[in-house]
Amino acid sequence: MTAPEPRPEIDEGIIELAGLVFDAARAGDTEGIRSFLDAGVPVNLTNGSGDTLVMLASYHGHEDLTALLVGRGADVNTQNDRGQTPLAGAVFKGYTGIFRILVEGGADPDAGSPSARDTAGFFQRQEMLELLQ
């Protein structure tokens, strides 16, 4: 049996910065996120729950920020630790504008559990179902 590899030191400043970035995404701070991305923060930064910036922005109803992230190449199909996708979250919340942005950005309506398509059917989001036809 071998000893476990030593864990590299975690820079507390990086953890604090990541917290600020995720808070900005939840709050819809489009200009703040733009600045973070311009400074080198990865567009697909993921928190401890598997939520990406686009997941947080879309789930909290921030169309402009969602569009910015999609335009910067955010992976719109990344599932969080619960198997949820940004598109399914937009359907659940009834955010048609964000739904359109994500679909145009390549979001898969059948990814995740439950999928966006299943969620739209369950909540009878007819407009969203029609957009998927």
Q: Return the pLDDT at 13.
A: 80
Grouped pLDDT means (10 residues each) for the chain, 133 residues: 59 86 97 97 95 97 98 98 96 96 97 95 92 85
Which regions of the chain does DSSP assign to beta strands (E)? none
Segment 19-23 long-range contacts (CB within 8 Å, at least 24 positions apart) = 21/45, 21/53, 22/47, 22/51, 22/53, 22/56
Q: Return the pLDDT at 27.
A: 98
Q: Return the pLDDT at 3.
A: 59
For the chain, domain boundaries: 14-131
pTM of the model: 0.88
Q: Up-side HSE of residue 110: CA atoms within 13 Å toward CB?
A: 2
Q: State the fold for domain 14-131.
A: 1.25.40
Q: Return the pLDDT at 7.
A: 53
Question: What is the Cα Rg of the chain in Å?
Answer: 16
